[in-house]
């Protein structure tokens, strides 16, 4: 999958925010490789981080729970990749909005899918402490504290 990162990155991004953006890009790339150690090392600041996926009304807490959920979810796909199309850091660098493009092909059905969902992460020291997934861009931007 083509990574459109350089297509949207603005020269107006501060050096501190550029580091956060780079760390997020590396985390998404590690997820695509199913490199969970790399994903956790890049993305998460605490062993007790949380992930709230849009399709479940539950929080997954900690490394093992998040990885177990992700692996279980990926079992439904013959192919599945994600790429950040847009990353914005909230004022104060305490939250991050990510528009994520996904492409995949269902296991069994072979039906190709493509779309966008949105992640909002609460940050500590530039890494995810809590992350939540959204299907509505305006709702995600609002949750991130970023004007839409």
Q: Is the confidence at residue 12, as pLDDT, over 60?
A: no
Average pLDDT over residues 36-64: 85
User: pLDDT tens-digit profile of 64-108?
Assistant: 898 899 999 899 999 999 999 999 999 888 999 999 999 999 999
Residue 11: predicted pLDDT: 41
Are residues 100 and 118 in contact, defined by beta-carbon separation less than 8 angstroms? yes
pLDDT band at 42 (very low <50, low <70, confident <90, very high): confident
Q: Quick one: tokens of 31?
A: 């997820």
pTM of the predicted protein model: 0.85
C-alpha span between 120 and 145 (Å, rounded)? 10
Average pLDDT over residues 13-20: 81
C-alpha span between 53 and 126 (Å, rounded)? 21
Residue 46: predicted pLDDT: 66
Are residues 83 and 28 in contact, defined by beta-carbon separation less than 8 angstroms? yes
Please report the domains of the chain, with CATH numbers, ordered by start residue: 5-144 (3.10.450.50)
């Amino acid at each position: 999958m083509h990574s459109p990162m350089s297509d949207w990155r603005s020269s107006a991004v501060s050096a501190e925010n550029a580091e956060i953006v780079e760390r997020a890009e590396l985390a998404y790339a590690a997820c695509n490789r199913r490199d969970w150690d790399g994903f956790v090392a890049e993305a998460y600041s605490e062993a007790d981080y949380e992930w709230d996926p849009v399709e479940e009304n539950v929080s997954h807490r900690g490394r093992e729970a998040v990885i177990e959920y992700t692996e279980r979810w990926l079992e439904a796909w013959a192919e599945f990749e994600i790429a950040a199309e847009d990353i914005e850091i909230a004022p104060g660098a305490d939250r991050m909005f990510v528009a994520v493009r996904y492409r995949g092909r269902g296991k069994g059905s072979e039906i190709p899918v493509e779309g966008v969902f949105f992640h909002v992460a609460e940050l500590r020291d530039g890494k995810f402490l809590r992350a939540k997934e959204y299907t509505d861009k305006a709702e995600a931007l609002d949750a991130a504290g970023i004007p839409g």
